[in-house]
Amino acid sequence: MEKLIIESCPALHGEVVISGAKNSSLPILAAAILAAGSYHISNIPALRDIRTMFKLLKNVGIDSSFENNSAVLTNNDSKEFEVPYELVKTMRASILVLGPLLAKKGRAKVSLPGGCAIGERPVDLHIAALEKMGAKIEVKDGYIFAECDKLTGKEIIFDKVTVTGTENIMMAAAIAEGTTILKNAAQEPEVQDLADFLRKMGAQIEGDGTNTITIHGVEKLHSADYEVMADRIEAGTFLCAVAGVSGDITLKKCPVYALDAVIEKLRYAGLEINIIDDETINAKMNGRIKAVNVQTAPYPAFPTDMQAQFMAVMLKSDGVSVINESIFENRFMHVPELKRMGADISLNDSNAVVKGVPYFSGAPVMASDLRASAGLVIAALMADHTSSVHRIYHLDRGYEGFEKKLNSLGAKIVRTDDNE
């Protein structure tokens, strides 16, 4: 394993190019199961989860090559339908192949997913929707066994908003018989990106970006080329970094349209944000950050994937901020690590109360999940003295060259073997 050694950083200055969105790339790659042919997908980040998805697709008959953030996929229309535990254990998004496999091949055997340990993300919503569409599904021995003659369009009302559930059923419904209506659907930009790709493949989808999505099933889809959207969570993470550390940075290839809630909260906190154009943001911070309350909620509200990074910013605020986590019940695992650095944080159920302090010290800390690791890196840059962040394999699942980009802005971060 590896760790990051992070020195205290006085300020960040310069430009950074935002990578393609992992949370968009994964469902788009999974959608290639739906039609034979060759695909060219660009702006894919070079991440561990992406490499895992390529291996997973290979297992169901899709060859791939990946270079310079572009993938060429070849779907040979094989009969393979099984995804083993070895490929699924590190990535919860692997559940995204269930719907496409079932819809295209009539059978699927997918291991129950792994990934970050940040609470329950039950696949029950996926299973219930597919069963309503005519699938026979059994969960046993750690696997989901599913089969159907032909999926049939139905009205699906999700009990709670689910991004991967919306994506999974949207893909399956694209070649189901009849019309499927998804209610209480996720509205995330990544869902819209997948819908755009499916439309390029010949799907008939309306209403994505709202809470009701209508999919008119077609008999057959075809392969297509596509450019993945930029990563709004990476962009938000760099905005939090400059807010916490201070400085003047410009984000290029940035999905400005998808950042409204994050920009609003950071502006309240004192970050000067200038939107230059649809893909460019300049952000400046001088002086002490203002305390701001935030509550995570499904898009278009403040994203749970930005909670840990925003908490890091609040560590040096001029007052008390309350951070409410409404999405995952176990997403404050970074708090004990921040307290090791001298942060003043108290937990009460789904609330974290953060009392700003003028300074805190570097310390050895351990990442518990992907976004927590980014929050710890920001906190380490803000701290006095040097910190080390361990278990950074979490970080590598979702950020492409994170420490290299920060170093280009003036940070001093070294990646090294972790022998502890």
Which residue, among 231, 375, 381, has the nearest Cα to 309 in the 3D structure? 375
Classify residue 10 by its DSSP letter. Answer: S
Residue 106 corresponds to which tokens in the numbers above? 């009539």
Write the single-letter amino acid at 348: N
DSSP 183-219: ES----HHHHHHHHHHHHTT-EEE-BTBSEEEEE--S
Q: How many Å is the Cα radius of gyration of the chain?
A: 21
CB distance 374 to 308 below 8 Å: yes
Asked if 116 is an active-site residue, the reply is: yes
Residue 232 corresponds to which tokens in the numbers above? 């709004």
Give backbone dihedrals phi and psi of 284, rounded to 5 degrees, phi first.
-130, 140
CB distance 253 to 276 below 8 Å: no
CA distances, 361 to each of 115, 354, 378, 388 (Å): 30, 16, 13, 12
CB distance 308 to 338 below 8 Å: no
Distance separating alpha carbons of residues 284 and 248, to the nearest angstrom = 4
Distance separating alpha carbons of residues 185 and 162, to the nearest angstrom = 7
Query: What is the distance in angstroms between the CA of the first residue and the CA of the last residue of the chain?
Result: 9
Catalytic residue among 116, 148, 240, 254: 116
DSSP 123-173: SHHHHHHHHHTT-EEEEETTEEEEE-S--B--EEE-SS--HHHHHHHHHHH
Distance separating alpha carbons of residues 92 and 114, to the nearest angstrom = 5
What residues act catalytically? Answer: 116
